[in-house]
């Protein structure tokens, strides 16, 4: 593994944990962090000593999304509008999380938005602290790059609720997220660490190969569709990436003001 200053990796007692470690930026993602999470999960998938994988965030957020303010660094591969079989680092992350033969838990310890929300939706389990806030939020910035969320979310909560969350960009609390079926376990801050540890230990002591079979069978339809979906998404995004509304949305976010959209 490369050296990643913005990620912490740990393997202990069958549990592999990756912690997003930019607490001052609410763990906003760079391309290097996306690659690091992907590589670590892929490595753990083939490590016989790893029984379960946990992804969490340092500080008061799980992940606020891609770092559109500070920048994500150089994007690997060709530009989005260039015809290519390279579907990008977020696609590789989503596919790896869905297909790695180990249970993957997203431990949502705070805000979870944008690409962090995509990461969580790609995991097998989303467990949350009861004060967590969850939602895509990119609609408010006129950003369409959904990175697979339009494929994953409707299967989880239904088309109508998914459309509401994605088009309005609204944020829901952890209680509502559990009611929707996004979160499968919900614990108060006072017992968060102990409850999470118990849940992880339960999975780590289970029949890992059986888990892999369940995971691949449940995710089969999504994995079969993911490539074509991503290609179609890239075509849609290419027509929106340079729109006036997108530029205004990002600029307003940087300036911490309400955007003025014109529909152009």
Burial class (CB in 10 A: 0-12, 13-18, 19+), 26: buried
Angle 153-21-103 from CA coordinates, rounded to 5°: 45
- Whether residue 54 is contained in a domain is answered as yes
> What is the number of domains present in the chain?
1
Distance CA 204, CA 14 (A): 6
Q: What percent of the chain has pLDDT over 90?
A: 73
- Whether residue 224 is contained in a domain is answered as no
- Whether residue 68 is contained in a domain is answered as yes
What lies within 8 Å, CB to CB, of 68 at 6+ separation is 141, 143, 250, 253, 254
pLDDT digits 0-9 by tens, 148-175 = 999 999 999 999 999 999 999 999 999 9
Ranges 30-34, 91-95, 146-150, 181-185: which has the least confidence: 146-150
pLDDT of residue 79: 56
- Whether residue 43 is contained in a domain is answered as yes
pLDDT of residue 258: 87
pLDDT of residue 78: 56
- Whether residue 195 is contained in a domain is answered as no
- Whether residue 71 is contained in a domain is answered as yes
The 10 Å Cβ neighbour count of residue 259 is 17
Ranges 83-87, 125-129, 217-221, 247-251: which has the least confidence: 83-87
Flag whether pLDDT at 145 surpasses 80.
no
pLDDT digits 0-9 by tens, 93-133 = 999 999 999 999 999 999 999 999 999 999 999 999 999 99
Comparison of pLDDT for 111 and 241, the residue scoring more: 111
- Whether residue 57 is contained in a domain is answered as yes
Range of the domain at 177: 7-189
pLDDT digits 0-9 by tens, 196-223 = 999 999 999 999 999 999 999 999 999 9
- Output the domain CATH number for residue 35: 3.90.226.10
Angle 151-153-156 from CA coordinates, rounded to 5°: 115
Integer CA distances (angstroms), 98 to 104, 108, 170, 252, in order? 9, 18, 25, 34
Comparison of pLDDT for 59 and 259, the residue scoring more: 59
- Whether residue 48 is contained in a domain is answered as yes
């Amino acid at each position: 593994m490369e050296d990643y200053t913005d990620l912490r990796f740990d393997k202990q007692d069958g549990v592999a944990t990756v912690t997003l470690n930019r607490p001052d930026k609410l763990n906003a993602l760079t391309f290097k962090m996306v690659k690091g999470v992907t590589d670590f999960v892929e490595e753990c998938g083939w490590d016989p000593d790893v029984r379960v994988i946990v992804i969490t965030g340092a500080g008061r957020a799980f992940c606020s999304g891609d770092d559109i303010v500070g920048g994500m660094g150089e994007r690997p591969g060709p530009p989005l509008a260039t015809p290519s079989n390279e579907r990008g680092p977020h696609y590789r992350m989503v596919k790896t999380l869905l297909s790695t033969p180990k249970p993957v838990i997203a431990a949502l310890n705070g805000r979870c938005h944008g690409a962090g929300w995509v990461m969580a939706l790609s995991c097998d389990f989303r467990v949350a602290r009861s004060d967590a806030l969850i939602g895509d939020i990119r609609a408010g910035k006129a950003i369409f790059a959904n990175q697979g969320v339009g494929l994953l979310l409707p299967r989880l909560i239904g088309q109508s609720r998914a459309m509401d969350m994605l088009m309005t960009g609204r944020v829901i609390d952890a209680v509502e997220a559990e009611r929707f079926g996004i979160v499968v376990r919900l614990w108060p801050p006072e017992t968060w660490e102990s409850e999470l540890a118990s849940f992880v230990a339960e999975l780590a002591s289970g029949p890992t190969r059986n888990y892999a079979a369940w995971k691949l069978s449940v995710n089969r339809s999504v994995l079969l569709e993911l490539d074509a979906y991503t290609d179609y998404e890239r075509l849609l995004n290419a027509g929106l990436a340079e729109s006036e509304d997108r530029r205004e949305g990002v600029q307003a976010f940087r300036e911490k003001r309400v955007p003025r959209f014109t529909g152009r």
